């Protein structure tokens, strides 16, 4: 997914300001990245380069850390956030099949956002309702005992609702 020039500029400025709040020691890499993500909602390559420069680290090392930890995302979150639970109970009940369904249906990989920025996809640890496994969070809504067919139906009904809402808003203008 491509960032606009404005987004890149904001990422550079924000990560520069955030970095300067910390001492330039390697031990501050993760706290800085967490703060950048807190400010921007994601850590794009432009921000990684700034942080790498500030800490005098090779950019590839920063990239390695960002992509290693699930807590970091490298693209802006979508309008709708799909979070697939991959805790033990959900994993046992086929969480990976559900994740695969979402990936195929949305045409993105976990950690990515669709080109139109409507959806982003994440995997999360146990969300605390294991008896309903496997579980997906669609925005804040818990979708219990989800199946690949339910993924299709859910997406279809939400896309329809979004379309109707947009048409309704256009009609009001």
137 scored as a contact of ligand FES (CB under 6 A): no
Residue with CB nearest ligand FES?
Answer: 87
Residues linked to residue 119 through DSSP beta bridges, in sequence order: 80
Backbone angles phi, psi at 159, to 5 degrees: -65, -40
Q: How far is the CB of 140 from ligand FES (least distance, A)?
A: 15
Distances (CA, A) of 19 to 7, 13, 16: 18, 10, 5
Distance of CA 32 to the CA centre of its chain: 18
142 scored as a contact of ligand FES (CB under 6 A): no
Binding flags for ligand FES, 55-94, as an x/- string (CB under 6 A): ------------------------------x-xxxx----
Measured from the CB atom, is 45 or 148 closer to ligand FES?
A: 148
CB 102 within 8 A of CB 63: no
Measured from the CB atom, is 91 or 117 closer to ligand FES?
A: 91
Q: How many positions of this chain bind ligand FES (CB under 6 A)?
A: 12
Measured from the CB atom, is 71 or 88 closer to ligand FES?
A: 88
Q: How far is the CB of 121 from ligand FES (least distance, A)?
A: 16
Measured from the CB atom, is 8 or 91 closer to ligand FES?
A: 91
């Amino acid at each position: 997914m491509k960032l606009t020039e404005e987004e890149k500029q904001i990422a550079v400025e924000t990560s520069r300001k955030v970095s300067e709040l910390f001492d330039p020691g390697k031990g501050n890499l993760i706290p800085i990245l967490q703060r950048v993500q807190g400010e921007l909602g994601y850590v794009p390559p432009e921000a990684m380069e700034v942080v790498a420069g500030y800490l005098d680290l090779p950019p590839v090392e920063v990239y390695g850390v960002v992509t290693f930890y699930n807590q970091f995302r490298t693209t802006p979150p979508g309008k709708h956030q799909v979070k697939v639970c991959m805790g033990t109970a959900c994993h046992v009940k086929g969480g990976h099949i559900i994740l695969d369904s979402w990936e195929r249906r949305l045409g993105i990989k976990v950690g990515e956002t669709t080109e139109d920025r409507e959806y982003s996809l994440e995997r999360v640890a146990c969300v605390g309702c294991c008896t309903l496994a496997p579980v997906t969070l669609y925005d804040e809504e818990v979708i219990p005992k989800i199946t690949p067919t339910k993924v299709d139906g859910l997406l279809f009904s939400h896309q329809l609702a979004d379309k109707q809402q947009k048409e309704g808003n256009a009609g009001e203008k």
